[in-house]
Amino acid sequence: MGVLACAGVAFAGRPLAIDDADPVDVGQFEFEAGAAYERDSGYKHWDMPFGLAYGVAPNVEAGVGFGGQFERRMEALDDAGAEVSRRESSIGDLTLGAKWRFIDSCPLGARHALAASVKFPTADEDKGFGSGETDYDLSWIASRSLGESASAHLNVGYSWIGGPDEDVFHYGVALDYQALDAVQWVGEVFAERETTGGADTVVQYNTGFRWTPVESLMIDIAGGSKLKGDAPDFIATAGLTWTFGFDAKNE
pLDDT of residue 77: 61
* C-beta neighbour count of 16 within 10 angstroms: 29
Confidence class for position 155, pLDDT limits 50, 70, 90: very high
Residue 242 has pLDDT above 90, yes or no: yes
pLDDT of residue 80: 60
Confidence class for position 40, pLDDT limits 50, 70, 90: confident
Confidence class for position 183, pLDDT limits 50, 70, 90: very high
Residue 175 has pLDDT above 80, yes or no: yes
DSSP string, 156-217: EEEEE--TTSPPEEEEEEEEEEE-SSSEEEEEEEEEEEESSTTPPPEEEEEEEEEEEEETTE
Long-range contacts of 155-162 (CB under 8 A, 24+ apart): 155/18, 155/19, 155/190, 157/3, 157/115, 159/2, 159/3, 159/135, 160/135, 160/136, 161/131, 161/133, 161/135, 162/121, 162/131, 162/132, 162/133, 162/134, 162/135
Report the alpha-carbon distance of residue 230 to residue 41 in Å, rounded: 11
Residue 16 has pLDDT above 80, yes or no: yes
CB distance 69 to 104 below 8 Å: no
Q: Tell me what the mean pLDDT of segment 106-130 comes to.
A: 91
Report the alpha-carbon distance of residue 154 to residue 21 in Å, rounded: 9
Positive or negative CA dihedral for 117, 34, 39, 87?
positive
Confidence class for position 13, pLDDT limits 50, 70, 90: confident
Report the alpha-carbon distance of residue 168 to residue 4 in Å, rounded: 10
The pTM of this model reads: 0.88
Residue 87 has pLDDT above 90, yes or no: no
Confidence class for position 76, pLDDT limits 50, 70, 90: low
pLDDT of residue 198: 74
Q: Tell me what the mean pLDDT of segment 122-128 comes to.
A: 82
Confidence class for position 128, pLDDT limits 50, 70, 90: confident
Q: Where are the domains of the chain?
A: 28-71+91-250
pLDDT of residue 103: 97
pLDDT of residue 54: 97
**Considering only the top CATH level, what class is 28-71+91-250?**
mainly beta
Confidence class for position 8, pLDDT limits 50, 70, 90: very low
